Amino acid sequence: MPAKTKTTGSGVRPLAPAAAGLAGQAVGSMLQRLFPTTSATGRALRLAGLTAGVTGSYVGYMAQRLFLGEEGRDRKRRATHAKAGRQIRDELQLLRGPVMKFGQTLSLHTDIVPEEVLAELTKLQMEAPGMHPSLAVAQFKASLGRSPDDVFKSFDPEPFAAASLGQVHCAVMHDGTRVAVKIQYPGIRAAIENDFRWIRNMSLPAQASGHLSKAMLDEMESQILAETDYVREADHIEFFRAGLKPLEFVVVPEVCRDYSTDRILTMSVVPGQHLDAFLAKRPSQRLRDLVGSRLLELFHFQMLSLETLHADPHWGNYLFDDDGTIGLIDFGCVKRFGLDFVRSLCKGFLYPGRFDSPEFKGIVQGQFRGPGGTLPAGAWRVITDFAERFYRKVYPPDPKDAARPFDFSDAGFLRDYLRAAGNLTRAKASTPQYIFHSRAEVGLYTTLHRLKARVHTSAIVRRLMAAA
Amino acid sequence: MSRILSKSTGRRALKKETTRSRIVAAALALFQVKGFEATTTKAIARKARVAEGTVFNYFPTKEDIALHFLEQEVEHAMAKVRANPRLRKAPIEEKLFALVQTQLEFLAPHERFIGAAFVQALKPGSKLGIFSPSAQELQYRYLAFVQELIDDAVRCGELTAAGWWTPHVFWVYYLGLLLYWLHDASPGKQQTLAFLDRSLKIGVAVLRQK
């Protein structure tokens, strides 16, 4: 029997709530139109405008839902989320830089953000508006002191890929080598400090409740800030190029230091295509399994052998070739975990015993709180639930199950992961290190799911753990 | 006979142009190092290796040298934008960006002098000031070019709210931007690039509204 619905009649909208929503949206729109995106005040006011606009939509929805039936309420809620998502995405695209990066980070936290908002935020991953050719060339000249036409045999002023903090152009060196030239959007570093000042102020309630710690914000800021230094990124590329040599199926670009600065990064072109283009060619199940297995191996190899992760997990940063080769192309966000974190992770992975045992409790304690720290009781329950529902299912510890691959095509595993990760955040058990690990894991599992790959997960991890 | 005459006239014109360029280059170098006020015509003549009287023949005052340089700057920027085939199809904000950016690149080696010229232009009766006929002539030439770019954009339906006043507003914006650029201490003048890009986008967005 359908639920009894409360309605004000077809098409009748209560005036007061609609007015409240409209007022918020009007204030937001006014602030956004009046203020530029450059100065600290301008950016803060535009963001305030965005907040007012989004809040206006929600105030309108919350008031209207009192008068709507269950079905109407659900429809209205979805429409409000979608509208808010669009508003947020459009504004973040305009502001670019760190706030957009923050939006990208949020888009990975499916536990925090509603599905409809998420759909819009996900578009930020690939749809960053670019610099026009004149600006890109001017920025190149300002950074390197020479114009691209003086440096390269040819340079394409139109970008072929976008990044949140810059964009990538194709060029040919005088010896005929094709290179990718990443050019950073000007003034991005100054914008980071402004944006984080705003984010810190806006998130005060979340900080007070303990859901977002100062340490997490500090970590996020320093990581995003670090991404603006292309000299550092060039160091990362060289680190991974050397470290990933044992994995023959991985291609890491070669940096051309002569034509790189802190704002320009010139590197060799990596073959392959993005996931969408790769999947559009309808690769065989065998190839998808091969690529999936390699992706999983790449992830755990980085963790176990390099203690470092290429932690920007969206699939725009991977290229897939028809022979199963995987190319890595963005090294802005790299996280070094250190031996202690990796050791405690190893102890928990493929743990065969009971999750309520003191031994497992000790492992978890070390992983989430470090020696001597104590986990809240709620957090403890959430972690064991996570281990039981997700890790034991995806990585069966019993060697007898090793012959059976895990099928990532089932969306249920991803939902389990995201729900459990969300519970972990709500239970205040997250640590800055865990956030990055989890961010990279979400990227990995989402890609494996899109590949519909079948992977011998435990066998791969067991082999790598033995080698490490 | 006439061929011999035109040959010698051509040679004379070339020599005159070379001398003029030498004087301007010497003056700019001294303005940059010593400052506009402290540089004397005597010093300019010495550096250009010409007689002081020759300097006066070409440029009655130091301000005339400055004006000549600014004229070169404007002509250079307009020619660069006109000569770039890709820009013909570019949106108006990029055309205006390219114009201003080319001007700034031209001015970059003479930053100190530009700062001094700015102050000089504010003095009553200065040839660089907005009410001087020579400076106005240069300003109108520049604004006519900006108007040309705007007219193109209006014809393409890119701008809907532009009017006769648009180039004049752009002129005031340009002067403001020049001040911003002079005070920008960021590496490679990053802040100016970002400000120029974003402010032009916003300005054009305003002119797009009906």
| pLDDT at residue A44, rounded to an integer | 56
Nearest to B188 among A38, A142, A157 (CB): A142
Q: List, in order, residues 6 or more apart from A352 with CB less than 8 Å away.
A: A397, A398
Q: Which of B202, B204, B206, B207 to mutate to test the interface with A (most CBs of A within 10 A)?
A: B202
Residue of A nearest to B209 (CA): A33
pLDDT, tens only, A217-263: 787 778 778 888 999 999 999 999 999 999 999 999 999 999 999 99
Q: Please tell me the class of the B62-208 domain.
A: mainly alpha
Of the residues A125, A140, A171, which one is the last residue of a structural domain? A125
B199 min Cα distance to partner chain A (Å): 7
Structure confidence at residue A7 (pLDDT): 37
Q: Is residue A338 part of a domain?
A: yes
Given a cut of 50, the residues of chain B with pLDDT beneath it are none
Residue A171 pLDDT: 97
Q: Which residues of chain A have pLDDT under 50?
A: 1-18, 20, 31, 33-36, 38, 110-111, 125-128
Å between B188 CA and nearest CA of chain A: 5
Residue A233 in contact with residue A332, Cβ under 8 Å?
yes
The reported pLDDT for the residue numbered A408 is 93
* From A132, A135, A142, residue closest to B189, measured CB to CB: A142
The answer to whether B87 faces chain A, any CB pair under 8 Å, is yes
Q: Kindly report the CA angle at A342 between A341 and A347, in degrees rounded to 5?
A: 100
- Do the beta carbons of residue B43 and residue B29 sit within 8 Å? no
Tokens of A396: 């069966």
- Provide, as residue numbers in chain A, all residues whose Cβ is less than 8 Å from the Cβ of B149: none
Establish if A454 belongs to a structural domain: yes
Q: Counting one residue from A and one from B, how many pairs have CB atoms under 8 Å apart? A: 64
Q: A132–B94: do the CB atoms touch at under 8 Å?
A: yes
What's the confidence (pLDDT) of residue A6? 38
Instruction: State the complex-level ipTM.
Output: 0.87
Q: Do residue A134 and residue B98 have CB atoms under 8 angstroms apart? A: yes
Tell me which CATH homologous superfamily contains domain B1-60: Homeodomain-like (1.10.10.60)
CB contact under 8 A, B190 and A186: yes
Chain A touched by B190 (CB under 8 Å): yes
Query: A141 with A147: CB under 8 angstroms?
Result: yes
User: Would the CB atoms of B193 and A263 count as touching at under 8 Å?
Assistant: no
Contact A187 B194 (CB under 8 A): yes
Chain A residue whose CA is closest to B98? A134
Q: Can you say how many angstroms the Cα of residue A232 is from the centroid of all Cα atoms in its chain? A: 20
Q: What is the 3-state secondary structure (H, E, C) of chain A?
A: CCCCCCCCCCCCCCHHHHHHHHHHHHHHHHHHHHCCCCCHHHHHHHHHHHHHHHHHHHHHHHHHHCCCCHHHHHHHHHHHHHHHHHHHHHHHHHHCHHHHHHHHHHHHCCCCCCHHHHHHHHHHHCCCCCCCHHHHHHHHHHHHCCCHHHHCCEECCCCCEEECCEEEEEEECCCCCEEEEEEECCCHHHHHHHHHHHHHHHCHHHHHCCCCCHHHHHHHHHHHHHCCCHHHHHHHHHHHHHHCCCCCCEECCCECHHHCCCCEEEEECCCCECHHHHHHCCCCHHHHHHHHHHHHHHHHHHHHHHCEEECCCCHHHEEECCCCCEEECCCCCEEECCHHHHHHHHHHCCCCCCCCCHHHHHHHHHHHCCCCCCCCHHHHHHHHHHHHHHHHHHCCCCHHHHHCCEECCCHHHHHHHHHHHHHHHHCCCCCHHHHHHHHHHHHHHHHHHHHCCEECHHHHHHHHHHHC
Q: How far apart are the first and last CA of chain B?
A: 65
When scoring A135, A228, A229 by the number of chain B Cβ atoms within 10 A, the one with the most, hence best to mutate, is A135
Closest partner residue to A135 (CB to CB) among B186, B188, B193 is B193
* Structural domain total, chain A: 2
d(CA A454, CA B89) in angstroms, rounded, equals 49
Which of the listed residues A71, A100, A125 is the one where a domain comes to its end? A125
Query: Using CB atoms, which residue from A36, A132, A189 is nearest to B90?
Result: A132
User: What is the domain extent for residue A381?
Assistant: 271-468
B chain contacts of residue A38, beta-carbon cutoff 8 Å: 191, 194-195, 198-199
Q: How far A157 CA lies from chain B's nearest CA (Å)?
A: 10
The pLDDT, as a whole number, for residue A412 is 84
The minimal CB distance from A38 to the residues B90, B105, B195 is found for: B195
Query: Model confidence over A72-116: pLDDT tens digits?
Result: 666 666 676 666 666 666 666 555 555 566 665 655 554 455 555
Residue spans in chain B of domains classed CATH 1.10.357.10: 62-208
Residue A293 lies inside a defined structural domain of this protein: yes
**Would you state the structure tokens that stand for residue A68, as one six-digit string?**
């709507």
d(CA B35, nearest CA chain A) in Å: 25
CB-side neighbour CA atoms (13 Å) of A174 = 5
Identify the pLDDT of residue A430: 65
Does the residue A180 lie in any domain? no
Q: How far apart are the C-alpha atoms of A324 and A298, rounded to whole Å?
A: 13
Domain boundary among A84, A110, A125: A125
